[in-house]
Each structure stands twice: as structure tokens, then as C-alpha cells.
Amino acid sequence: MSTAAMRGRDTFPPRGENDTSEDKVELMNANRASSDHEDFVDEDETVDPRRVQPSRARVAPNSLWTAALALAAFACGLLSFQSRHLGEIAQSTLLYPHLDGVWSEFGEEGLHRIGTKPLQFRPACNRTILFQWSRYGSGLGSLMTSSMHAMLFAKEHGYEVIFDRAGNAYGTFLDSFEPKESTVCRPTEDMYSAAGREPMHSTALIGQPALDRPEAGLCRLVFSSADAVPVNTWVRNTTFGDMSELDSLPATSGFAPVPGPDTVPALFRHRFLQYSALAAEYFQLNPTVRALRDKYKWDLGLEGTQERPIIGVHFRGGDKIARECRPSAHLSCGNITVHCMAAVEALSTFAPSYPSFALGTAKARLLLMSAEPDAPQLFRGDPLCARHFDVEPFVHGATNKPYNQVEFQRLPLVDRVADTHRFVAQIDILANWVDAAVVSANSNAGRVILARAGPARVLAEHRVRSVDISWHPFHYPPFAGFCDGTRHSCYPPAKP
């Protein structure tokens, strides 16, 4: 029996169990509902000159009483109407005054906001985790993974996650993402201070399965880089139990890509759904990054009618190749040809949606996302990619970023933030705006792309797939019989 089931959790559904057309429709409807946002209605009410005329004459007392009674009746009616229809007001925002029929003369029915001050304010948050964005010095993909670990812990134990306002090498959280509005409480100014907060790694809950919510006294926790490894261990312990459960993971090879259906194994399927939900809830692109993302879409021709397919490829090189890919025959992350094999498989799957595209003779477009300056040359030089694709790297802009973390941190802040915006925008392009994408699940950035793509594009359609290993929810990859996801640089040994 699964360890999760023994603890009373729902067992992870096997791959393909929920891939029905009804599930897809429900998923798309849920996604549309979650992405709808109400706009402020700031238009002035139109005044009918036949009813209201300026006058210097004295107003009769009866008229005053009539007007007062009419106003009171309107207010009572409005409050009564709202009390009956609170369930129809968007739950993702605070409760504001709403009224029906505001735009009915233009054919737009339903409730519309008629004021900008909330009818009520939510109570101050009691249980919070302060994520110290500024105290994290690793890569941005690793930072986003740790953020989702903290968010997962918060969901498990009834906390609200708030991000500190200071910045790190990539700027502040708000430099790239929208603030997340809680639906249950509001943070207060003192909650953005780490003073008096308990470090997450010092609690007795970290490092063992948490069966109950933390004791009431642990109301304020803080997450910094020192908590990344202990909380990663907590994620491992609450995801699976005995190492034998990893025997169900798909096999990996350094010489062949992971099949699309194996990108998310059954053991981690439910965690993938949770991470996808967290990415959608907390990592909403702010207007600056959305504008850059949209510029990419226009410049690359990703909107409108396309004449040939566009396959995105995320190539993680650098230290990954030297430390992880080369020592193990089980990893293909540094193999350009295997990346091209995965891209051709994706192309063969989705090219039929382009009737005028001649698969086998015409070339598709390969949109390359990589921090390696020689990556475009490597992909263009691979015979398989050269036969099937025109390789187009993302334009890095005017930053001229050094592809070394130490050198990157020496750049001016404005250049580092601009580069971060490009990185986040490119993640969204590969996740959502190309016909298919091949990424490295052995890298944090690749797993973030998969989470942002969500179950529709990853589980149902296999449009976004991993090239090297299956998706996992940890900082470090798990391998059956060798690694449980808690050890750095743990890989199956190369075959003799």
C-alpha cells in the first residue's frame, strides 16, 4: 500500500486515468473561470437632464422627504440585492458595491462594481510564512522551486505566504510578478519583518511527515535559503514513503529522450497538479513582463495564422553538463542530438495541424531558449536538427549578459532585472505559446516551464515534454535504488 494512502491521503491517480474529454472540458472551464478578473467601473453615472435641473428656487419640504425616502429605499434595495447575490460576486477579490443593470442599455447584463471602497476588510492574517526573497542567492529557477515548496507547506498547514519587499540579484518579487491577494485575510505592515519569526528549519515538523497542523504558537514562520534543504526533505517525506515506491518511475537513458507520456510519472502526478496550481496562483506575470512576453509573441509571429509549426527547446548547459550529465549514462541533458530527437518527435505529432506543411521536406521553426552563447551553433550543427528545423534563438536584448553567475551578479541592477524579465517571459512562451516544447526536467527552469504549462498541455496533449528525466517535485532528481530527491549530485553511476 502506498505510504500516502496509509496516512489517509488520496492515492495518486495512475497516468491516463483522468484523461477523458469531460475532464479536459472541466479543466478548460476551470482555467477560464480562474483567469477572469473584474475591472473597476469608474464611469460617471449619466444624468438625465429632464429629471434633474439646477434651480435657485427653494425646494419644498415634501420634495425633500420624497427624495430622502427614495434614496433610503434605493440603499435598502441595494443592500438586500447584494446580500442575496454575494455568491455571484467574484470570490478572488474583496467585496465591493455591485449593482445589476448598470450597462443593460448596451446589452451587458449582470453584476457590475459601482464603487471602489470595499464593503468590508478581511481580518489580519494570523498564520503567515514570510518568504525572504532577498536572502536567496541561487538561480531564479531554484528560487521559484523553493517558493513552491514554501507554498505547499503553507497549503498543508493553513498559512498565508507573503514575500519580503527587498531584492536579490534578480530584483524583488514584485519586479516580475503580481502580488497575490489572499481570499481569507490581509497582511499587515509588521508581517513583512523577519523579527520574531521562527525559521522553518528549526520546527519539529521539518524532516518528518506532518500529520497535523502545527501547534497554535507557531503562527509566524520565515523561509530563507537556509530552509531550502530541510523543506525539500519535508516535501519528499510527504510525497512518498519507502524508496521502493521509486521503482515505478520510468527508466531514463542518456541516448534517447523521455517519451511524452512519461514526462509526469504516476507517483508524482498529484504533486504536479498542485505545483501547476501554485504557479498559476502565485506567479502571475506583472504588466512589465506581460508586455515583454507579448512583444516576443508579436516579433516571433506566434499570434495569428502560422504557415509552419514552432517547436520550443529549452537547453540547460553549463555546470549541468560538467557535474551531472557527463558522469551518468542515465542522463541526456547535455546531448544535443537527443534534444533534436525529442523535437522531431514533437514535430511529427503536431505537424498534421498544418495542412500546407510538408513534413519530411519542409523545415519547421525551432525556438531555442538557452543561456549558453554557443547553443544556437550547436543545434544548427546537429544533422537531425539541421534537416528538420530552422533554429531561432531568443533575442537576449541589449544587456550582453555574461553567462556566468558570478559575472551576472556584478552587472548593474537595472540590467539584471531586465535579464530576469526576459527569462520569465521566455518561460511563459515555451510553456504556453508554441506548438510544442522540449525542456530539461533535470533543471529547475525546465520543471517550472512544465508547471506553468499545466495538465492540459503536459498530461492531456503532451505538448510540453521533458528530454532527460521525468518531472519531480524536489530540488534534486530521484532515481530508483539510488537517490530519493534529497541529495545534491546524486545520480546512478555510469555503466561500466
Question: pLDDT truncated to tens, each residue of the chain (496 aa)?
Answer: 444 433 333 332 333 344 444 444 344 444 444 443 333 333 333 333 333 333 333 344 454 444 444 444 444 444 444 444 444 444 444 578 999 999 999 999 999 989 988 888 889 999 999 999 999 878 899 999 999 999 999 998 899 999 999 999 999 999 999 999 888 899 999 999 999 998 888 764 554 444 455 665 689 999 999 899 999 999 999 999 999 999 999 988 878 899 999 999 999 999 999 999 999 999 999 999 999 999 999 999 998 788 999 999 999 875 555 555 554 555 656 789 999 999 999 999 999 999 999 998 999 999 999 988 889 999 999 999 999 999 999 976 545 555 677 788 889 999 999 999 999 999 999 999 999 999 999 999 999 999 999 999 999 999 999 999 999 999 999 999 999 999 987 887 765 4
| Same domain as 284, residue 411 | yes
**Rounded Cα–Cα distance for residues 109 and 106 (Å):** 9
Same domain, 223 and 334: no
User: Could you tell me if residue 47 is inside a domain?
Assistant: no
Last residue of a domain, one of 101, 116, 131: 116
Question: Does residue 50 belong to any structural domain of this protein?
Answer: no
Q: Are residues 105 and 142 in the same domain?
A: no
Looking at the structure, tell me whether residues 394 and 452 fall in a common domain: yes
Same domain, 288 and 334: yes
Residue 38 lies in a domain: no
> Is the entire prediction scored with pTM above 0.85?
no
Question: Do 312 and 439 belong to one domain?
Answer: yes
User: Are both 194 and 223 inside the same structural domain?
Assistant: yes
**Could you tell me if residue 494 is inside a domain?**
no
Q: Are residues 318 and 439 in the same domain?
A: yes
Amino acid at 346: A
With respect to residue 472, please indicate whether it lies within any of the assigned structural domains.
Answer: yes
What's the alpha-carbon Rg for the chain, to the nearest Å?
Answer: 27
Domain that holds residue 178: 123-239
User: Is 247 a domain residue?
Assistant: no
Number of domains in the chain: 3
Calculate the alpha carbon distances from 298 to 160, 290, 291, 433 in Å.
Answer: 37, 12, 11, 11
Q: Please indicate, yes or no, if residue 353 is contained in any of the structural domains.
A: yes
Claim to verify: residue 302 and residue 209 sit in the same structural domain: no
The side-by-side arrangement of strands in the sheet containing 364-370 is: 389-393, 364-370, 310-315, 436-439, 464-466
- Please indicate, yes or no, whether residues 316 and 202 belong to a single structural domain of this protein: no
Task: With H, G, I as helix, E, B as strand and everything else as coil, classify residue 393.
Answer: strand
Question: Is residue 149 a part of any domain in this protein?
Answer: yes
Residue 429 CB contacts under 8 Å (≥ 6 apart), including other chains? 293, 296, 297, 300, 302, 312, 367, 369, 394
Q: CA-based angle 331:332:336, to the nearest 5?
A: 160
Q: Are residues 365 and 279 in the same domain?
A: yes
